[in-house]
Amino acid sequence: MRDGRPEWAVHLPAGMEPEALDLLAERSLPAAWRRRAEEAPARPSLWLAGRGWVSRAQLEEASRTVAGRLHRAGLRPGDRVMSSAATSLDLVVAHVAALRLGLVVVPANVAYRQREITTIVTDAEPRAAIVDDPERAGWMRVAAGGDLLAVSPAVELPDGPAPTLDAGGPADPGLLCYTSGTTGTPKGALLNHGNLLASAEALRLAWRWTEHDRLLLALPLFHIHGLGVGLHGTLLAGASALLLPRFEIDALLDAAREHAATLLFGVPTMYARLAGSPRVSELAGLRLCVSGSAPLPRSVFERIAEQSGQRVLERYGMTETVMNVSNPYDGERRPGTVGLPLPGVELRLSEGSSGEVRLRGPNVFGGYWRNPAASAAAFDADGWFRSGDLGSLDDRGYLRIEGRSKELIITGGYNVHPREVEEALLEHPRVAEVAVVGSPSEEWGETVTAYVVPAGLGAPPETGELLAFAAERLAAFKRPRVVRFVASLPRNALGKVLKHQL
């Protein structure tokens, strides 16, 4: 509390009192989206090159049709449906339809290989999958024992009457997102509709997001950043989004100019490339640029500010909590910090002004899917979520993220757990030991780096051979970019690898 007001009050629009805050007033995102369509059916909602604009009413109608197809196929509220496809209008329609029907969406990275897909399918037990790759669909069916309905994002199934839609409440499950745990085994973070709505509503208020905004959305829709922030927030605010299947500087800036974009959400890798582009000054035409998923280097922040006048707003979120903290829209944006708690979020550090970041609020999930031990360990005795991130507070109370107690590597905005990469590399017959760490990178945030002790007395495997071996087992973003061969790994008296020495 500051002067009798919660810390997050700094994010509220002028004239709004903290007592008036009700992040769950709309009950669920699907219900709010339907109301937006009823209020202004003709307003543009989504755009994709080659497809043009889709209005709010068209999105509502298309998602209702797809929901009817899924219901006729036997899917019912609470059933899990995997979603693993490149960005498209069809994918958005299918996602909205699934949430409206009460299904639990399980996003999966399109870069995942069979081993990774199998882990998720085995744990989540989805009844259906929205997938754009036949090979990936085959892996899912095998993992599910053949009992899985796999359809393309267009959901080309027989039509059926849509049942009651948008009936879910805040406590009903909405997303099941898999994230690496301390053992390297992915855990399913179960986010309910209240978590998703509370976070999107907090951002709508904090970033002054209105129906007049137009977002450049080049983030993938299988990640909480692109999906839970970009897409969900756009639809809640009644704004519009330009869907860009991949990040390409010229395509992004051309779309911004042609369609009068106002917002850009990205990861540090994107901003580093924009900072080095001769077109970086064009960012000046946007109302707000937001960076997240990894720390933004101060040098990148300063180059963009100097060349475009944009002071990129950094924020902090997690799969288990969606969004937690943000630099203020109206106020000082401090480079190197992620700002102050968002509306409704409580934050404390385990050692007072430093230590592990702990969180509480309507955005925080209730636990991991079918994993009571991990769920219990994720919260302290007072019910605060243990983020595993280490932070400190500056003289103004701004949070600075200083490391991760869970040893996660964040590269290009994606989480990589060292243990998973290590286990994959140890399957190579000429690898005796391996330790994986993140090396600082201005472009990627961190680079996955493997320190390898060769097996036996023979020559170590060629770097290219080892990388090809990893490519068969791991998504591209998880594979080492750097391999260093060493005679031994540094260890303490108990035999634990001292990764900080690497």
Write out 233-273 in H/E/C secondary structure: HHHHHCCEEEECCCCCHHHHHHHHHHCCCCEEEECHHHHHH
Residues 250 and 343 in one domain: yes
Is 346 inside any structural domain?
A: yes
Residue 297 has pLDDT above 70, yes or no: yes
Q: How far apart are CA 438 and CA 395, in angstroms?
A: 29
Q: How far apart are CA 482 and CA 177, in angstroms?
A: 29
Is 112 inside any structural domain?
A: no
Is 128 inside any structural domain?
A: no
Domain that includes residue 299, residue range: 1-28+194-358+376-405
Residues 384 and 272 in one domain: yes
Q: How far apart are CA 36 and CA 209, in angstroms?
A: 14
Residue 495 has pLDDT above 70, yes or no: no
Residues 302 and 435 in one domain: no
Q: How confident is the model at residue 406 (pLDDT cuts 50, 70, 90)?
A: low
Residue 40 has pLDDT above 70, yes or no: yes
Q: What is the mean pLDDT of residues 202-216?
A: 98
Higher pLDDT, 85 or 298: 85
pLDDT in tens, 130-175: 999 999 999 999 999 999 999 999 999 999 998 999 999 999 999 9
Do 215 and 265 meet the contact criterion of CB atoms below 8 Å apart? yes
Q: How confident is the model at residue 390 (pLDDT cuts 50, 70, 90)?
A: confident
Residues 296 and 338 in one domain: yes
Residue 312 has pLDDT above 90, yes or no: yes
pLDDT in tens, 246-256: 999 999 999 99
Residues 241 and 288 in one domain: yes
pLDDT in tens, 429-481: 999 889 999 998 988 989 999 999 998 767 788 999 999 999 999 999 999 99
Q: Tell me the percentage of the chain whose pLDDT exceeds 90.
A: 82
Q: Report the pLDDT value the prediction gives residue 181, as an integer from 0 to 100.
A: 43
Cα-to-chain-centroid distance, residue 259: 26
Distances (CA, A) of 102 to 60, 155, 192, 410, 434: 15, 17, 11, 32, 44
Q: What is the mean pLDDT of residues 294-302?
A: 88
Q: How confident is the model at residue 103 (pLDDT cuts 50, 70, 90)?
A: very high
Instruction: Report how many domains make up the chain.
Output: 2
Is 34 inside any structural domain?
A: no
Which amino acid is residue 287, in one-letter code? R
Residue 494 has pLDDT above 50, yes or no: no
Residues 254 and 269 in one domain: yes
Is 103 inside any structural domain?
A: no
Q: What is the DSSP letter of 65?
A: H
Q: What is the mean pLDDT of residues 415-419?
A: 82
User: For position 290, which CATH number holds?
Assistant: 3.40.50.12780
